[in-house]
Chain A
Amino acid sequence: MSNNSVISVISRFLEEYASSTPNKLKVIDAYLLYVMMTGALQFLYCLLVGTFPFNSFLSGFISCVGSFILAVCLRIQINPQNKGKFLSISPERAFADFLFAHTVLHLVVINFIG
Chain B
Amino acid sequence: CFYAFVEDLCSLNQCKREQRCVFVTFCPNSCQSIPVSNDTRDLLLATVSEDSTASQIHQSVSALSALGLPLASQEVVSALKARISKEDNVLAIILALLTASRLSQQAELGDILEEIEDLAARLDDLGGVYLQFEEGLEATALFVSAAYSLSDHVDMEPPLKEDQVIQLVNSIFSKKSWDSLSEAFSVASAAASLSNNHFHVPVIVSAQGPAAVSHSHPFLRLQVTDVLCQPLSSASVLAESASAVSSKSAVLSQALFTLRDGVFELNFMASQPASGYYQFSVAIAGDSRFVANHVELKVKVSTRVAINNMDLSVVDKDQSIGPKTTRVEYPTKAKASFMADGHQNFAMTFQLVDETTGVELTPHQTFVRLHNQKTGQEVVFVAEPDSKNLYKFELDTAERKTEFDSISGTYALYLMVGDATLENPILWNVADVVLKFLDEEAPGTIQAKTLYVPKPEIPHLFREPEKKPPTAVSNTFTALVLSPFLLLLILWFKLGANISNFTLSPSTILFHIGHAATLGLMYVYWTHLNMFQTLKYLAIIGSLTFLAGNRMLAQKAKWFPLHFLSFGTRLISQI
Instruction: Enumerate chain A interface residues (CB-CB to B < 8 A).
Output: 23-24, 26-28, 30-31, 33-35, 37-38, 41-42, 45, 48-50, 52-53, 60, 63-64, 67, 91-93, 95-96, 99, 102-103, 106-107, 109-111, 113
A67 touches B571 (CB 8 A): yes
B563 touches A107 (CB 8 A): no
B549 touches A30 (CB 8 A): no
| A–B Cβ pairs within 8 angstroms, 11 of them | A27-B497, A27-B561, A31-B568, A35-B484, A37-B487, A41-B483, A45-B480, A49-B473, A52-B467, A63-B571, A110-B526
Interface membership of B178, Cβ < 8 A: no
Among residues of A, the one whose C-beta sits closest to the C-beta of B534 is: A107
- CA–CA, A53 and B564, complex, Å: 31
Minimal beta-carbon separation of A47 from chain B (angstroms): 11
CB within 8 A of B564: which of A28, A35, A106?
A28
Secondary structure of the A side of the interface?
helix
B561 touches A24 (CB 8 A): yes
B484 touches A52 (CB 8 A): no
B525 touches A110 (CB 8 A): yes
Interface membership of B356, Cβ < 8 A: no
- CA–CA, A31 and B491, complex, Å: 9
- CA–CA, A37 and B563, complex, Å: 21
In the complex with contacts A30-B488, A30-B492, A110-B526, A41-B480 CB distance below 8 A: yes
Residues 75-99 of chain B, each 1 if its beta carbon lies under 8 Å from chain A, else 0:
0000000000000000000000000
- CA–CA, A64 and B518, complex, Å: 19
Interface membership of B553, Cβ < 8 A: yes
List of A residues within 8 angstroms of B480 by Cβ: 41, 45
List of A residues within 8 angstroms of B466 by Cβ: 52-53
B491 touches A30 (CB 8 A): yes
A31 touches B556 (CB 8 A): no
Minimal beta-carbon separation of A104 from chain B (angstroms): 10
Minimal beta-carbon separation of A29 from chain B (angstroms): 9
Interface membership of B531, Cβ < 8 A: yes
Given contacts A27-B497, A33-B484, 9 further A-B contacts (CB under 8 A): A27-B492, A33-B487, A34-B484, A38-B574, A102-B567, A102-B570, A103-B518, A106-B570, A107-B525
List of A residues within 8 angstroms of B324 by Cβ: none
- CA–CA, A60 and B481, complex, Å: 11
- CA–CA, A60 and B526, complex, Å: 13
- CA–CA, A95 and B575, complex, Å: 25
Among residues of B, the one whose C-beta sits closest to the C-beta of A34 is: B488
B573 touches A109 (CB 8 A): yes
